[in-house]
């Protein structure tokens, strides 16, 4: 079996076969970025999150899946850091996820020049599980573990310090792929750009029929097949999922 | 007996008679919950339509990249090139092929002895500088890797001698005293005699005619002087009588 090799990097101006004549040009000396106003806190690594809160819950709580549904109202903007992981769907993070995030980021980041902070609380919501192999009935099961609810548009962790997005992106993507909901690494500029693009899409949409218009006017009796939440969410959210391509 | 219980004890609101929930799956599920067909149709109708520009982008020409802002370093190099062209009498452009470093150092040393400096120039800096100055005709020479040999005096012969010993550097052209010369022209220039000799030659050529005129005018008196001298010489040697003296005086009077 011939060992598989990665294809060569694309060279600009290359002819067939990727052949180019090497040219010597003036070296463009780039001024390094200025990090003078950046303060790095003492504890740069992510805090350890408990599996169970300090005061464990006695009363079992109803499921309340509405804490996954729809857009997030907290932790949507950056506070101290410049880069972070943005959740593009709803889901629950349990202690395993927290450990994965903490260890991966702690391993990959530069402790002297970068710092990371949590933007989600430690697991607080009790989740019950019935023991395996039993039939339905017999009451609600005991508390098995605790989770944190995350809605779409919430930041999970924030990274800051004397670093660039390209340095931080690899391990943030690695973490984002392992989360139970779709997530992307993002910077302050990236978030602004996302919001701007959303606004632009709303403005330059050529389709005269929008979900909002049809639902608020209850055209064709559509409210019969939709829930009151759809009026709020304007067709962009379905269950825990976030439909990015919709306007 | 008991009054009929009203279905809707409160006034105004009503609940739909038929709830469209058949199997009891909740609103938020781990899997993608199947949408009602009417809702699917609504989603399909209300999709985003991107705006189409009046002219498709492929009909417009290739987008020219905005000219990059000026590098301070590039400005400095351009200034240096301009100074070199201003301050030096002789600027020779040579093609440079890669040569061993020690040979390069030796060549620079020999040229330095004749006060010729070697400058490595980048085409992307020199070309804009030359195109805006009076040396536009030197532009075709700045194509591949080249070096400039600059000097305040025009010591072409020594330069050619050094370059003959270095096969990797080939002379392309030169600009001596604001005159653009090709390789042949430079060789001819080297063969010229030095300035004083050339000046002397010119002066000699110019004064040929007046010297001829002056010799013509002085021919008579010169001839007389020559004859007199000859006579004196004969008298001194022969000791003839004084009769020979009046006869040459009569012959000179007849002339």
Does residue B137 register a pLDDT over 90?
Answer: no
Distance from the B45 Cα atom to the nearest Cα atom in chain A, whole angstroms = 7
- pLDDT tens per residue, range B4-13: 445 555 566 6
B81: closest CA of chain A, how far (Å): 14
Weakly modelled stretches of chain A, pLDDT under 50: none
The rounded Cα B232 to chain-centroid distance in angstroms is 75
B213: burial class by Cβ within 10 Å (0-12, 13-18, 19+)? exposed
pLDDT at B17: 53
A28 contacts B16? CB cut-off 8 A: no
CA distance B254 to A214: 142
Strand order in the sheet with B169-176: B117-120, B146-151, B90-96, B169-176, B179-182
Inter-chain residue contact A204 with B51, CB threshold 8 Å: yes
ipTM over 0.90: no
Beta-sheet strands, E only, within chain A: 83-87, 91-94, 114-118, 125-128, 143-150, 155-161, 183-187, 237-238, 241-242
pLDDT in tens, A186-236: 999 999 999 999 999 999 999 999 999 999 999 999 999 999 999 999 999
What token pair was written down for B36? 């009602």
Q: Is the Cα dihedral A173, A178, A182, A187 positive or negative?
A: negative
Token pair of B19 as six digits = 């709830």
B54 has a chain A CB within 8 A of its CB: no
Beta carbons of A38 and A163 less than 8 angstroms apart: no
pLDDT of residue A58: 94
Q: What angle do CA B82, B83, B86 make, to 5 degrees?
A: 90
C-alpha separations of A100 from A95, A165, A177, A223, B228 in Å: 9, 21, 11, 43, 131
Q: Is B105 in CB contact (< 8 Å) with chain A?
A: no
Helices then strands, counting H and E runs in chain A, come out as 5, 9
DSSP state of B152: S
Q: pTM here?
A: 0.69
| Chain A residues within an 8 Å CB radius of B125 | 26
Q: Are B60 and B68 in contact (CB under 8 A)?
A: no
List of chain A residues whose C-beta atoms are within 8 Å of the C-beta of residue B120? none
For residue B42, the distance in angstroms to the closest alpha carbon of chain A comes to 7
How much is the mean pLDDT over chain B? 84
Dump pLDDT digits (tens) for B29-54: 999 999 999 999 999 999 999 999 89
Instruction: List, in order, residues 6 or more apart from A138 with CB less than 8 Å away.
Output: A130
B175: its two tokens: 């600009």
Number of Cβ atoms within 10 Å of the Cβ of A84: 29
Return d(Cα A209, Cα B164) in angstroms, integer: 82
Residue B69 pLDDT class (50, 70, 90 cuts): confident
Residue with tokens 């002339």: B255
Environment class of A127 (CB within 10 Å of its CB; exposed 0-12, middle 13-18, buried 19+): middle
CB contact under 8 A, B20 and A225: yes
On whether any CB of chain A is under 8 Å from the CB of B51, the answer is yes
Q: Residues 202 to 231 of B: which have CB under 8 A from any A CB?
A: none
On chain A, the residues whose CB falls within 8 A of the CB of B32 are 238-239, 241
Record: contact B28-A224, CB cut-off 8 A: no
Q: Which residue has the higher pLDDT, B26 or B3?
A: B26
Contacts of A222 in chain B (CB under 8 A): 38-39, 42
Out of A28, A210, A226, the one facing B71 most closely (by C-beta) is A28
Minimum-distance CB partner of A25 among B26, B27, B122: B122
Task: Give per-residue pLDDT as tens, B203-244.
Answer: 999 999 999 999 999 999 999 999 999 999 999 998 765 555
Q: How far is B27 from chain A (nearest CA, A)?
A: 6
The CA distance from B212 to B215, in Å, is 5
CB A89 within 8 A of CB A152: yes
Q: How far is B196 from chain A, CA to nearest CA, in Å? A: 45
pLDDT digits (tens, 9 = 90+) for B70-109: 788 889 999 999 999 888 889 999 999 989 999 999 999 9
* Residue B3: predicted pLDDT: 46
Mean pLDDT of B166-175: 91
Size of interface A-B (CB pairs under 8 A): 80
The answer to whether B172 and B93 have CB atoms below 8 angstroms apart is: yes
CA distance B127 to B138: 9
Q: How confident is the model at residue B254 (pLDDT cuts 50, 70, 90)?
A: very low
């Amino acid at each position: 079996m011939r060992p598989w090799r990665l294809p060569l990097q694309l060279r600009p101006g290359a002819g067939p076969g990727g052949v180019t004549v090497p040219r010597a040009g003036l070296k463009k000396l780039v001024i390094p970025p200025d990090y003078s106003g950046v303060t790095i806190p003492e504890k740069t690594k992510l805090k350890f999150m408990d599996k169970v809160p300090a005061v464990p819950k006695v009363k079992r709580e109803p499921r309340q899946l509405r804490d996954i549904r729809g857009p997030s109202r907290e932790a949507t903007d950056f506070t101290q850091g410049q880069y972070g992981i943005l959740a593009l769907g709803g889901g629950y993070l349990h202690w395993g996820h927290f450990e994965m995030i903490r260890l991966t980021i702690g391993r990959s980041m530069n402790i002297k020049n970068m710092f990371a902070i949590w933007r989600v609380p430690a697991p607080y919501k009790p989740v019950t599980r019935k023991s395996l192999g039993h039939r339905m009935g017999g009451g609600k099961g005991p508390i098995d573990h605790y989770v944190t609810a995350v809605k779409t548009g919430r930041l999970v962790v924030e990274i800051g310090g004397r670093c660039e997005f390209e340095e931080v992106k690899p391990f943030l993507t690695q973490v984002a792929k392992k989360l139970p909901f779709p997530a992307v690494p993002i910077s302050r500029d990236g978030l602004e750009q996302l919001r701007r693009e959303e606004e632009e899409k709303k403005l330059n949409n050529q389709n005269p029929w929008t979900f909002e218009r049809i639902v608020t006017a209850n055209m064709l009796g559509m409210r019969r097949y939709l829930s009151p939440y759809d009026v709020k969410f304007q067709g962009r959210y379905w269950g825990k999922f976030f439909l990015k391509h919709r306007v | 007996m008991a009054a009929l219980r009203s279905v809707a004890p409160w006034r105004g609101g009503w609940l739909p008679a038929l709830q469209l929930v058949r199997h009891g799956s909740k609103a938020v599920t781990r899997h993608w919950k199947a949408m009602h067909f009417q809702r699917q149709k609504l989603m399909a109708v209300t999709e985003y339509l991107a705006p189409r520009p009046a002219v498709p982008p492929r009909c417009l020409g290739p987008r020219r990249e905005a000219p990059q802002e000026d590098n301070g370093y590039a400005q400095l190099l351009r200034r240096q090139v301009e100074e070199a062209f201003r301050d030096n009498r002789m600027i020779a452009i040579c093609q440079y092929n890669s040569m061993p470093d020690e040979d390069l150092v030796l060549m620079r040393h020999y040229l330095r002895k004749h006060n010729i400096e070697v400058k490595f120039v980048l085409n992307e800096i020199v070309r804009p500088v030359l195109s805006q100055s009076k040396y536009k005709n030197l532009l075709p020479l700045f194509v591949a890797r080249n070096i400039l040999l600059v000097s305040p005096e025009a010591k072409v012969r020594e330069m050619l001698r050094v370059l003959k010993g270095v096969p990797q550097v080939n002379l392309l052209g030169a600009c001596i005293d604001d005159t653009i010369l090709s390789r042949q022209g430079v060789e001819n220039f080297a063969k010229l005699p030095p300035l004083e000799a050339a000046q002397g030659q010119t002066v000699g050529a110019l004064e040929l005619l007046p010297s001829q005129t002056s010799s013509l005018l002085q021919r008579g008196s010169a001839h007389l002087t020559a004859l007199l001298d000859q006579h004196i010489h004969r008298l001194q040697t022969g000791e003839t009588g004084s009769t020979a003296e009046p006869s040459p005086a009569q012959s000179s009077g007849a002339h």
